[in-house]
Structure 1
């Protein structure tokens, strides 16, 4: 089967996020499918841009064929990013006949987060006689409306709403990373029987094989805390507004007399303010460390007694969430304290930890104390439940099979 994935932001281990198209393509290649990924040359998610040689540049990464479409650079979420989106989708539409005849896809997957790519994707699919899958990462334009405050009468929202509705009507299947989004999609034109939930995942072989040692600074702090008999609650990820790590600082103040420490690993726009607040409060039970290489994540998480993840209160989460960070936590086999209010709850469903209300320092304090009161064997059992849940439901090998099944049902 020839599979064409259209994902504006698709990345790879060479270029950085986003990784889902790459890992699905790897699994499908093992099953003798041919996979082509079409992506924009510029994405704010990547840490490195591909080298271009014209309007379309071909590159093979780990046996996967990438076609990079030249697009302008941008910063932030302003007009330049919108121009980048339209440059990608208009170029793709212009190239629809070329891609249909040269790639000859059996299935076309439109997967660019925003829904405009459905137009060129359907045009390519019709010319090639291929099945059409619309893959939903986030609900657009609902996301910019509810998170960004855009009016439903804004021209950008009107254009995106038309594209979303068009996608639900014309796709043969709609694959969603949001488990509770089917009702919204049906309200916007999707017929029954099209919805398939396929969440974010993890490459199990890569997790187990590509382990690198912790940087010295990280290893020294964790070793010292364990030597002192401290209970370590870890966090690994972005330090941004959405992560509401101020809740952790407030909880650390309330736990200042307890034999425990928070260890926060990562970077982000809020990190300096968090460190300044910690210093002003005179807290000695919270430690800030820089990001570690991807290969060192398993060793980092293994060094924690419990792991924390939190997100701002957000009505949009009623449709479900699928954070990659949570999948990593669960794969590490360490119990989780989750401060997220969403339509789904993997922590409670798997039994791998404690779920509390977001932005509630008192609730976090209670959860930490509850975790400290458990025996090491009880915490190990919780962590094992999380790991087993990931192996069954979130391994890319499993997700690729579910995706294949959805394609075969078209």
Structure 2
């Protein structure tokens, strides 16, 4: 089967996030399919951008064909990003006939988070007599409306809504990472018989190998904290508004005289402000470190006693969550404290930790106290349950197979 996978933000192990298209495509190639990932040259989530001078460039990574389209650089979520999106979709529409003729896809997947790629994907699929798949990452336009307060009358929101409606009516298959989207998509015209849930996953090969050693300063800090008898609480991921890290710092302040050490690793729009807050409030039990390579994540989690994840309390999460960070925590065998209110609760489903109210410093502090009182072996047993759950339900070979089965 020939699969064209359109994802504006697609990355690879070399380029960085977004990893899902690469991992799925690599498994499909291993299963004997041919895959072409179509992506934009600039993405705000990639750590390394592809470099080329032409309008398009082809590249092969681990057997997966990449077709990069040149798009303008941007920062933030303003006009620059909108122009970047428009440039990508217009080029795809322009190149649809050539892509359909040269690659001859059996399946075309529109998977760019925003839904406007469904229009060029539909044209490619129609020209190639291929199946059209709409993949749901986040629900647009609901995400920018509920998270960023954009008006339903905003022209960008109107375009997103038209694209979502088109996708629900015209796609042959809809694949969602979010498990509770049925009512929403049905309200926009989807026949629910076309809907399949394929969540995010982990690459077990990377976890089965020995992790790369942590940077000396980070490793020394954790060793010192453990040597002082402190429970090491790690947060590894984006430092953005949605991650509600102020609540974690508030909980750290409540636990200032108790035996906890908080280690925050990552970057994001809120990092500088949070760092200033740690300094001004003299939260000496909190240390913030720069992002670390993906190869070091397993080493970081192996050194942690508890892994923390939190999100703002917003209505959008009623459709469920599928955070990559949580999959990493569970695969790392870490007991998890989750401060998230959503339509699903993977931590409770796996039995790998505790779930508490989001944006509640008291609830977070009480959850950490409860975990600290547990026997070490009981925490390790929770961590093992998380790893076993991920291996059963969230490995990329399993998910890639489920995706292909949905096409049938």
TM-score, normalised with respect to structure 1:
0.97
Match of 1:195 in 2: 195
Secondary structure class of the residue paired with 2:193: coil
- The residue correspondences of 1:237-248 to structure 2 (distance < 5 A) are 237-248=237-248
Residues 405 and 268 (structure 1), Cα distance of their counterparts in 2 relative to 1, 3 Å cut = same
Mapping of residues 369-384 of structure 1, within 5 Å: 369-384=369-384
Residues 226-265 of structure 1: per-residue CA shift (max 9 Å, x gap): 1222111111112222222111221112112212211111
Greater shift, 70-79 or 169-178, is seen at 70-79
Match of 2:390 in 1: 390
Mapped partners of 2:361, 2:79: distance in 1:
38
Question: What's 1:58 paired with?
Answer: 58
Deviations 1:166-202 (A, max 9, x none): 1011111100011101110000000120111111111
How far 1:280 moved relative to its partner? Answer: 3.0
Equivalent residue for 1:97?
A: 97
Residue in structure 2 matched with residue 163 of structure 1 by the alignment: 163
Other-structure match for 1:348: 348
Residue 281 of structure 1 is matched in structure 2 by 281
**Is 2:106 aligned against 1:106?**
yes
DSSP-derived class of the 1:184 partner: helix
1:231 aligns with 2:220: no
Identify the residue that residue 266 of structure 1 maps to in structure 2. Answer: 266
Task: Name the counterpart of 2:67.
Answer: 67
Q: Deviations over 1:303-343 (max 9, x none)?
A: 11111111111111111111111110011111100001111
Tell me how far apart the structure 2 counterparts of residues 381 and 57 of structure 1 sit (CA, whole Å). Answer: 48
Distance (whole Å) between structure 2 residues aligned to residue 210 and residue 183 of structure 1: 43
Deviations 1:368-410 (A, max 9, x none): 11001110111011111111111111111110010010012xx
1:173-184 correspondence to structure 2 within 5 Å: 173-184=173-184
Shift of 1:210: 6.1
Tell me the SS of whatever aligns to 1:47.
Answer: coil
**Partner secondary structure for residue 48 of structure 1:** coil
Give, in whole Å, the separation in 2 of the partners of 1:275 and 1:122: 46
SS at structure 2 position matched to 1:193: helix
1:263-315 C-alpha deviation (Å, 9 max, x unpaired): 11122332333233233333322222222211010010111111111111111
The residue number in structure 1 matching 2:172 is: 172
Contact 2:182 2:192 in 1 (8 A): no
Count matched residues: 408
Structure 1 stretch displaced more, 90-99 or 240-249: 240-249
RMSD of aligned residue pairs (Cα, Å): 1.2
| Alpha carbons 2:229, 2:259 under 8 Å: kept | yes
Looking at structure 2, the residues matched to 303 and 196 of structure 1 have their Cα atoms a distance apart, in angstroms, of 37
Rounded to whole Å, the distance in 1 between the matches of 2:63 and 2:402 is: 22
1:211 aligns with 2:221: no
**Match of 1:400?**
400
Quick one: distance in 2 between partners of 1:41 and 1:267? Answer: 22
Is the contact made by 2:179 and 2:319 (CA closer than 8 Å) also made in structure 1?
yes
- Counterpart for residue 39 of structure 1: 39
What SS class does the counterpart of residue 147 from structure 1 fall into?
helix
Find the aligned partners of 2:159 and 2:54 in 1 and give their Cα distance. 29
Q: Which residue of 2 aligns with 1:297?
A: 297
- Cα distance in structure 2, aligned partners of 1:261 and 1:289: 13
In structure 1, distance between residues paired with 2:357 and 2:152? 30
**Relative to structure 2, which stretch is displaced further, 333-342 or 141-150?**
141-150
In 2, the alpha carbon distance for the partners of 1:134 and 1:94 equals 20
* CA distance in structure 2 between the partners assigned to 1:280 and 1:67 by the alignment: 48
Q: Matched residues in 1 for 2:11 and 2:289: separation?
A: 26
- Distance in 2 between the 1:333 and 1:305 partners? 10
Distance in 2 separating the partners of 1:185 and 1:358: 26
Structure 2: 5+ residue stretches without partners:
none
1:23-58 deviation per Cα after TM superposition (whole angstroms, max 9, x unaligned): 001111111111100111111111222122422211
Q: List runs of 5+ in structure 1 lacking aligned partners.
A: none
